[in-house]
C-alpha cells in the first residue's frame, strides 16, 4: 500500500496530494508505461488540473467573445471587460469558472477546490448548524464575527470518523451547504482519507494490549508490516503447532451498544429516559444536521458481529501507533467500561445540584456517543469549565481515575473541584481500597531520576495497575518526550486530553493524535461569550516609547540584555502603574503577566503587589492565590 500524504498546514491540499515539489502542480502518474522522453513530452511531466480547467474556460470565453462582439450591447461589453479585469487581478485565485447553484444565496459555504479551505458566511441563518458540522470535519483557521475559515485535513477527517461520521454523510452535507458543487478533488480527498479510518482499534484487556478490528483482512495487512509483526505477542495458549503467525487471530463477540446517560444532563435529571426519534418522516436540513453532527446516529457501524484481534507488546505501543498512522490506519482507542468486570467500580457521581452546560454536554456526547469511552482531546476556551467536563467523564466511566496536571497548584485545584462537583470524599482521592482517584503532575510521573522512597512506591503502584480513565490537563504545554513517557508508562483504558488551545511551539501537535487520540470537540469562544457562558474579551495594545537613555543602550546592546531593557522601560512601568490604578478604582481584579522574572519582581516591589514565580513555595503560592480569589 503506497503511503499517502496528509493535507496539513504544509500541504497544498487535496488537489495537490500527489505533488512532487512545492510548485502548484500535480504529479500525473498511473500504471501505464512512461512515454518516450522527447522535447515535447519531457520525463516527469506534470499537469495542473485547476490551471488547465481555468485555461479551457478562458479559451471558451475568448471564442464566445469573438463571435458576440459584433452584436454586443455596450452594457454587456462593459460587464465582460469587468470580468477580464477581475481575472487579471486575482489570477490563480480567480474561481469565477466555478458554477454557482441556482439557490446559492441560501447556502453558506464556499469551498476552495485547490487547498481544501472552506469559507463560512457567519451571517447565514443556518450558520450555527453549519459551524457545528465544520468543527466536526475540519480544522478552524480563523473565526471572526462574520466570515469563518476552516480547512479539511487528514487529521480533521480522522477525528470526524472517530466520532461516527460516515464518508457519504460528510460529502452529502458539504454538498447541501456549498454554493457550488463540491469539487471532485475534495470528494476524492474525503473518500481517500476516510477509506481506512475507523477500522482498527486499540483495546486494553486484562492488562494486555490488543489490536482489534471487525475486518480480519485489515489485521492481516497490518501484520505484513515488519514493525507491527515484531511487536506482536503470541501466547502459549494461542500458538499451536503448525500455526502461521500472521494468520492466528483471536475472535470474540463484539461489545453490545446501547443508550448511555451522562450525569448532569437533562436526560439524567429526567431519570435516564431518552426519547427516540420518530421514523418515517422526510429528512429536513435540521434532521440531517442532527444525524450527521449530533449523537442520534453517533455510532461506528460494525460489518460483523465478531471482532478479531492480536496481542502486541506494551513496550512497543508507541511505535505501533505511529506506524499505523503512517500506513493510513490510525487506531481508535475505545473502552467498553460498562462491560468491564475485571476493574473495580468507583463510587462516584455528580452532586444533584450540578448541571452541565449545553456545550459541555455536546463535548461529552462526542466522547460517549456509541456507549463506549473514546480516547481523544476536547478543546474548550479558558473559563468554559474544562475541569467539570473531565469530572463528568470520570463520573460516567466510574472506574479508577488518574489525573495529571502541569503544577502542584493545579493538583490542589483538581482535588478541590472533584469534592465541589461530585460526591467523592478526600479519602477516595487518596485512593482507598480497590478503586479511587489519584491526582499528580506530569513531571512526577515522567521523572526517572533521584526519586524518594515514597515516590518510588507511588510509581510502582501507578504502573502496576490497570487504570480505567486517565485525565490529561493542558496537553498542549507538556514537552513531547515527557508526554510520551507518561502515556507509555501508565496503562489506561481511556484517555481524555483537555486544553484551551491545540497549538504547540514545537509543532508536535500531530503526535497527540497517536498518543491520545483525535480531537473530539472544539468550542468557539466568541459564541460562548455571546451566549454569556464566558466573559467578554476586549484586547488593547499600548505602545510605550523608550526613554532616550534606554533606547540608546538598546541600540548598542547585542546580548539578551536587550529584552531586559525594553521590559524595564520607565514609560512601560508608568503605563502599567496607571492601568492598575485605573482598574483598582473600578473594583476590578487584575493579573499582570511577564515573561521576565527580574522585571516581574521589580514591577511587584515597585507597585507594592504580591507576585508568584517558579521559585515561590507551594504554601506561599496557595496563600497568594486564595488572597486574590477571596479578597476584593
Q: Which positions ≥6 away from 449 have C-beta within 8 Å?
A: none
pTM summary value? 0.70
Higher pLDDT, 574 or 336: 574
**What class does CATH assign to 201-236+246-266+287-530?**
alpha beta
Query: Which of 231-240, 259-268, 468-477, 554-563 has the least mean pLDDT?
Result: 231-240
Write down the pLDDT at residue 120.
92
Write down the pLDDT at residue 450.
67
Q: Which residues pair with 593 in a beta bridge?
A: none
How far is the CA of 167 from the CAs of 137, 170, 303, in angstroms? 10, 5, 15
Banded model confidence at residue 210, pLDDT cuts 50, 70, 90:
confident
Higher pLDDT, 269 or 473: 473
Examine the pLDDT at 17 and tell me if it is beyond 60.
no
Q: How many CA atoms lie within 13 A of 516 on its CB side?
A: 31
DSSP secondary structure letter of residue 474: S
Banded model confidence at residue 407, pLDDT cuts 50, 70, 90:
confident
- The rounded distance, in Å, linking the Cα atoms of 34 and 465 is 58
Q: Which of 167, 230, 228 is nearest to 200 (CA)?
A: 228
Residue 133 phi, psi (nearest 5) = -70, -45
pLDDT digits (tens, 9 = 90+) for 55-97: 777 677 666 666 555 555 666 666 666 666 666 666 666 666 6
For range 456-472, the mean pLDDT: 84
Write down the pLDDT at residue 537.
80
Banded model confidence at residue 360, pLDDT cuts 50, 70, 90:
very high
Task: Centre a 10 Å sphere on the Cβ of residue 569 and count the other Cβ atoms it contains.
Answer: 19
Write down the pLDDT at residue 442.
85
- The rounded distance, in Å, linking the Cα atoms of 219 and 246 is 9
Write down the pLDDT at residue 470.
92
Domain boundaries, the chain: 104-194, 201-236+246-266+287-530, 548-630
Banded model confidence at residue 403, pLDDT cuts 50, 70, 90:
very high
In the numeric block, which cell numbers belong to residue 114? 485547490
Q: 3-state SS string over 382-417?
A: CCCCHHHHHHHHHHHHCECEEEEECCHHHHHHHHHH
- The rounded distance, in Å, linking the Cα atoms of 236 and 533 is 56
Examine the pLDDT at 393 and tell me if it is beyond 80.
yes
- The rounded distance, in Å, linking the Cα atoms of 500 and 525 is 10
pLDDT digits (tens, 9 = 90+) for 558-584: 887 888 888 899 999 999 999 999 999
Q: Which residues pair with 494 in a beta bridge?
A: 469
> Which DSSP string do the residues of 222-275 spell out, in sequence order?
HHTSHHHHHHEE--TTT--TT--GGG--EEEEPPP----PPTTSHHHHTTS--P
- The rounded distance, in Å, linking the Cα atoms of 428 and 391 is 14
Write down the pLDDT at residue 491.
82
Banded model confidence at residue 177, pLDDT cuts 50, 70, 90:
very high
Q: What angle do CA 599, 600, 601 make, to 5 degrees?
A: 95
Q: 3-state SS string over 97-146?
A: CCCCCCCHHHCCEEECCCCCEEEEECCCCCHHHHHHHHHHHCEEEECCCC
16 touches 115 (CB < 8 A): yes
- The rounded distance, in Å, linking the Cα atoms of 370 and 298 is 6
How would you classify the pairing of strands 208-213 and 306-312?
antiparallel
Amino acid at each position: 500500500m503506497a503511503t499517502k500524504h496528509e493535507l496539513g498546514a504544509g500541504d497544498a491540499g487535496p488537489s495537490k496530494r500527489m505533488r512532487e515539489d512545492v510548485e502548484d502542480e500535480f504529479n500525473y502518474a498511473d500504471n501505464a508505461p512512461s512515454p518516450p522522453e522527447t522535447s515535447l513530452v519531457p520525463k516527469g511531466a506534470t499537469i495542473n488540473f485547476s490551471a488547465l480547467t481555468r485555461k479551457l474556460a478562458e479559451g471558451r470565453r475568448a471564442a464566445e467573445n469573438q463571435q458576440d462582439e459584433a452584436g454586443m450591447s455596450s452594457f454587456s461589453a462593459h460587464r465582460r471587460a469587468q470580468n477580464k479585469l477581475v481575472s487579471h487581478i486575482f489570477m490563480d485565485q480567480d474561481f469565477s469558472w466555478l458554477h454557482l447553484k441556482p439557490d446559492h444565496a441560501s447556502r453558506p459555504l464556499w469551498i476552495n477546490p485547490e487547498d481544501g479551505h472552506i469559507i463560512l458566511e457567519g451571517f447565514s441563518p443556518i450558520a450555527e448548524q453549519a459551524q457545528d458540522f465544520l468543527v466536526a470535519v475540519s480544522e478552524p483557521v480563523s473565526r471572526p464575527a462574520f466570515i469563518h475559515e476552516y480547512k479539511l485535513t487528514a487529521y480533521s477527517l480522522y477525528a470526524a470518523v472517530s466520532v461516527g461520521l460516515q464518508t457519504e454523510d460528510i460529502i452529502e452535507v458539504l454538498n447541501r451547504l456549498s454554493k457550488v458543487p463540491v469539487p471532485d478533488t475534495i470528494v476524492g480527498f474525503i473518500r481517500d482519507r476516510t477509506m481506512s479510518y475507523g477500522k482498527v482499534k486499540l483495546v486494553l484487556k486484562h492488562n494486555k494490549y490488543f489490536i482489534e478490528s471487525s475486518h480480519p483482512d485489515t489485521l492481516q495487512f497490518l501484520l505484513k508490516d515488519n514493525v507491527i509483526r515484531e511487536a506482536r505477542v503470541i501466547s502459549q495458549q494461542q500458538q499451536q503447532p503448525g500455526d502461521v503467525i500472521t494468520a492466528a487471530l483471536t475472535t470474540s463477540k463484539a461489545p453490545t451498544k446501547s443508550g448511555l446517560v451522562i450525569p448532569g444532563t437533562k436526560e439524567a435529571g429526567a431519570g435516564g429516559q431518552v426519547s427516540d426519534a420518530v421514523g418515517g418522516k422526510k429528512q429536513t436540513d435540521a434532521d440531517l444536521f442532527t444525524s450527521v453532527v449530533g449523537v442520534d446516529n453517533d455510532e461506528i457501524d460494525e460489518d460483523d458481529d465478531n471482532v478479531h484481534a492480536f496481542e502486541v507488546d506494551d513496550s512497543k505501543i508507541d511505535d505501533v501507533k505511529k506506524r499505523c498512522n503512517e500506513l493510513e490506519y490510525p487506531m481508535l482507542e475505545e473502552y467498553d467500561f460498562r462491560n468491564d468486570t475485571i476493574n473495580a467500580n468507583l463510587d462516584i457521581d455528580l452532586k444533584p445540584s450540578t448541571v452541565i452546560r449545553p456545550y459541555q454536554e455536546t463535548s461529552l456526547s462526542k466522547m460517549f456517543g456509541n456507549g463506549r469511552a473514546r480516547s481523544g482531546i476536547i478543546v474548550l476556551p479558558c473559563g468554559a469549565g474544562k475541569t467539570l467536563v473531565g469530572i463528568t467523564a470520570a463520573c460516567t466511566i466510574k472506574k479508577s481515575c488518574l489525573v495529571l496536571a502541569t503544577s502542584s497548584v493545579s493538583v490542589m485545584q483538581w482535588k478541590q473541584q472533584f469534592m465541589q462537583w461530585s460526591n467523592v470524599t478526600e479519602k477516595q482521592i487518596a485512593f482507598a481500597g480497590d478503586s479511587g482517584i489519584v491526582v499528580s503532575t506530569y513531571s512526577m510521573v515522567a521523572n526517572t531520576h533521584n526519586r524518594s522512597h515514597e515516590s518510588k512506591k507511588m510509581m510502582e503502584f501507578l504502573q502496576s495497575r490497570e487504570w480505567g480513565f486517565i485525565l490529561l490537563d493542558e496537553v498542549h504545554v507538556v514537552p513531547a518526550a515527557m508526554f510520551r513517557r507518561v502515556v507509555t508508562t501508565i496503562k489506561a483504558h481511556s484517555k481524555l486530553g483537555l486544553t484551551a488551545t491545540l497549538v504547540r511551539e514545537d509543532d508536535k501537535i500531530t503526535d497527540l493524535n497517536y498518543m491520545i487520540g483525535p480531537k473530539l470537540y472544539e468550542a468557539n469562544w466568541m459564541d460562548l461569550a455571546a451566549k454569556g457562558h464566558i466573559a467578554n474579551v476586549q484586547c488593547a495594545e499600548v505602545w510605550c516609547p523608550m526613554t532616550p537613555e534606554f533606547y540608546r543602550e538598546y541600540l548598542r546592546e547585542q546580548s539578551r540584555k536587550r529584552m531586559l531593557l525594553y521590559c524595564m522601560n520607565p514609560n512601560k512601568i508608568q503605563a502599567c502603574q496607571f492601568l492598575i490604578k485605573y482598574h483598582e478604582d473600578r473594583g476590578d481584579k487584575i493579573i499582570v503577566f511577564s515573561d521576565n522574572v527580574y522585571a516581574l519582581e521589580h514591577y511587584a516591589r515597585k507597585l507594592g503587589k504580591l507576585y508568584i514565580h517558579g521559585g515561590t513555595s507551594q504554601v506561599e503560592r496557595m496563600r497568594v492565590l486564595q488572597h486574590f480569589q477571596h479578597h476584593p
